[in-house]
Structure 1
């Protein structure tokens, strides 16, 4: 191969970072298509798109771009960054981010299945929960990626401190956070549910 044809071949092949970005975009698009096939609404049935929903006890919760549970997805990114650094630290950051996207997208699909929706209704304060809109699910995946990238650049102590701050902030604002959400999903506690409901 002469030098000029070698140059053309290299330019025709996306750079590694670009390949990771394209693969990530493809994963997110695939998750959105699967959610659509599952019957999820593209956006809120109210017909509007909001940047922020602050009241978790309304039908708008989990239907728009961001809400208090967005903090949990950012923390997902923190956790996945640490996990995949431990499991695959020799691999490029982009590869580890793709692994995080696969897990988060998988969770969004599972979370919007009847199994988890019913579990949320039975075991948590989300009595009227009907699942997320596709917009909200895609936003959750993107916020996880933001958390992953933040954690990849911050010292571990700063990432841990930020995660604790987010957990305490959500706990104060809505009496819920990632820790309680996981607890109540796996092992519902009546007294915790009563406290979260303000009883």
Structure 2
């Protein structure tokens, strides 16, 4: 009993240290995007909690938008990946691992090569990249998904992920799966269907 109690402070210190690493990775993401020339907030000068229009200059510029569910699903996926690869390590270390992947994607997504790829092969013709605020909140959304997956039953996490994918496909004709397909292997039929919105 005493040995277990003695280990708790060490486990807490370790968890706090890994949470600190995750926050440091988020800070590196934010600073990297700043040095890449990304705007801190929407060029409109406003900060909205939610941007409802996908085909507007405000998309990917505010705190959340219709792509936020995709980032929550990232958290589900990264939790599962961390569980498979790093099961013996603390959850906080796995969160740092997930944050590293998400931050890496956010930096890549806002690079000129990926912005141009979105413009050329998807219906996001006017895509300018994310604001720093939106990109940072995408990483926060991933962390929310990660923590949800860490606490919820697997079946519930899967049902919610499927629900998010179906809902966003219906509402905006896009979702995580379609986004990946169109970025990696564009299909004209999908682009035409998405353009009809």
TM-based fold match above 0.5: yes
Q: Deviations over 1:88-136 (max 9, x none)?
A: 1001100001000000000000000111001100111100001000000
Choose from 149, 170, 194 the match for 2:168: 170
Looking at structure 2, the residues matched to 75 and 141 of structure 1 have their Cα atoms a distance apart, in angstroms, of: 11
Q: Paired residue for 1:150?
A: 148
Choose from 11, 35, 52 the match for 2:50: 52
Looking at structure 2, the residues matched to 45 and 96 of structure 1 have their Cα atoms a distance apart, in angstroms, of: 35
Looking at structure 2, the residues matched to 99 and 131 of structure 1 have their Cα atoms a distance apart, in angstroms, of: 24
Q: Paired residue for 1:125?
A: 123
Looking at structure 2, the residues matched to 192 and 31 of structure 1 have their Cα atoms a distance apart, in angstroms, of: 32
TM-score by length of 1: 0.92
Q: Paired residue for 2:107?
A: 109
Looking at structure 1, the residues matched to 54 and 46 of structure 2 have their Cα atoms a distance apart, in angstroms, of: 17
RMSD of Structure 2 on Structure 1 (CA): 1.9
- What stretches of structure 1 of length at least 5 have no aligned partner? 1-10
Question: What stretches of structure 1 move > 3 A for 4+ residues in a row?
Answer: none
TM-score by length of 2: 0.93
Looking at structure 2, the residues matched to 24 and 97 of structure 1 have their Cα atoms a distance apart, in angstroms, of: 7
> How much does 1:17 deviate?
2.0
> How much does 1:23 deviate?
1.5
Indicate the structure (1 or 2) with the bigger Cα radius of gyration. Answer: 1
Q: Deviations over 1:61-83 (max 9, x none)?
A: 00000000000000000000001
Q: Paired residue for 2:159?
A: 161
Looking at structure 2, the residues matched to 19 and 114 of structure 1 have their Cα atoms a distance apart, in angstroms, of: 34
| Native 8 Å contact 2:75 2:143 kept in 1 | yes
Looking at structure 1, the residues matched to 118 and 23 of structure 2 have their Cα atoms a distance apart, in angstroms, of: 29
1:35 and 2:33 aligned:
yes
1:189 and 2:187 aligned:
yes
- What stretches of structure 2 of length at least 5 have no aligned partner? 1-8
